[in-house]
Amino acid sequence: MPPYVPKYVRPEDAAQSRAQLKRRLIGTAIAIPVAFIFLAFGYSDQAPAFLRSSIVAVDRALGYPIIGLLSLILG
């Protein structure tokens, strides 16, 4: 069996891959709290009726994970 020879990756390609991974991680780190804040606002009394009803409908379709998470954090 021949010895394992790792695939050569150019330094430019490695840097581009690291930059793309960093962008994805930063985007995910921003998107999760923003989505949580939006959903929490959807359950508040200050949210418009159409937003509140749509958030409840999405939550109902998923099995109420949003309201369960909010009750754990705020309760």
Q: How far apart are CA 27 and CA 22, in angstroms?
A: 8
Q: pLDDT by residue (tens digit) across 31-41?
A: 999 988 988 89
Domain ranges of the chain: 36-75
Confidence of residue 74 (pLDDT cuts 50, 70, 90): confident
pLDDT digits (tens, 9 = 90+) for 38-60: 888 988 889 999 999 998 898 88
The residues near 57 (Cβ < 8 Å, ≥ 6 apart) are none
Kindly write down the DSSP assignment for every residue of the chain, as one continuous string: -PPP-PPP--HHHHHHHHHHHHHHHHHHHHHHHHHHHHHHHHTSTTS-HHHHHHHHHHHHHHTSHHHHHHHHHH-
